[in-house]
Chain A
């Protein structure tokens, strides 16, 4: 294929599909009980320097407990997939967990505004970056999930986003048209929050899947947090509903309300007051340092964090909001 242009950005991961096959060749296919704590899962499966990806969409179905635990255990020098990231990015930037980032959507919280602290971190010059797009990173994960070295797309061409990426523009040998080649991205470790899982890691989820089905298949190691564990018989009674099979999964952690303060489809809505408080507090770095220490670094686990944010009572209000019940504000 004739190469037309090369992005000058760094490629933080190796797209070689034979190395990926060699890795997956030795990955266990055994049906073993993988239930553990988030503390243990992060200790065993997420190492300093790893390429990290977080499932969900910023403040929707995110594995909040894993993001917190990465900070608590002081993970650093990681590479982050800044794909549709919002509150997850806020947590990981505050903990300075990563020092390299593939940027697609970072530092913003969509309609809520920009994160002052994450912005300071990204403006500091401490983070090495490449630019991508949300679809571009989804395609990169899809390529790894397919076991191919790259996939073509027709986006990013002609822009500075392309120039600062590690993509290649090449001439398609079939049609003569120019396409962007997106190198496969296989994160070393990923975490995804789902509605239900069995002890082996077979997962079900409701609502949009974002890029999680690709991510689950692309990642070398996968930590699942779930709202609730279900018996394997439930999975086997209706296999159509399984979206992530157990052999991709390394750890299963039951974390009720684990997407808080984000949305969990059909379960609870995002805690907009809490997210506003977070953004407001970030304006003052000193005050935010204390806030972050109290809520994340010094809490024992996710349940303690949730208790500090109003606990199950707050979740009940958010459940009413999610289900559009009139009880929303009443309790």
Chain B
């Protein structure tokens, strides 16, 4: 195994059977994550970012499946494993937290019980007493005040911020190598969001846990990611180290997104806006999928599909006009 690649996804295609036809929610996505690295996957609704995460976890709905490509995690080809082998990996070496902690916790069991289950299933602890001590320690690490008392709380007795901390405690219980976080702070207030992001960064550093951060929020990306993939309509359109991406966004979509964000620092006269809407996934435009909304699109963009090319500094861009123009000087 290459020690710079904890997770390596190659040419991933995830398709869904729907009433209107086959939807390729993820279409030819490749990227890797190094141990301890935080990779952001950013894009708007329907871009395929969550489906990429669910494909890695093996949690796709019944009508969806990986139809092409490979997912290698920690030296093992996940798609070649039996569902039983995959399950034993999930929650142990690989875990996930979701946007809405209320729907991912069981409402009729105490939070202590739920975290204990994770530990016992993966054989991390032998007895209930060992488990309790471990969990109280975990709760303390994720900043839950009064952890002994909270051990016996039900999810509805906790605020949204505390529930997300419980989810993080559960996800970190077996010290996973990779944590997939799907919009973990989207449902939280901004002062609580700042606390949770701070906590995730701290835990990732202390335990050298890699994080795949799925988000629509470019602020969250800038705050905690090391590298970023920008997705649009099922494909990665740009990928770069975080400072490089924000300093030098090349793809017109990334550029448009950044320019359409209102800024905190100064009043702006007018926001840039990307015209039109995301394409219908059942009926994708030919050529570049962003071409119908792009100010720079030319005839070629509407016919051929651009490839993801390296323009230097490990900065990958899927665009004829901008990428090649930049590359050729």
Chain A complexes with chain B? no
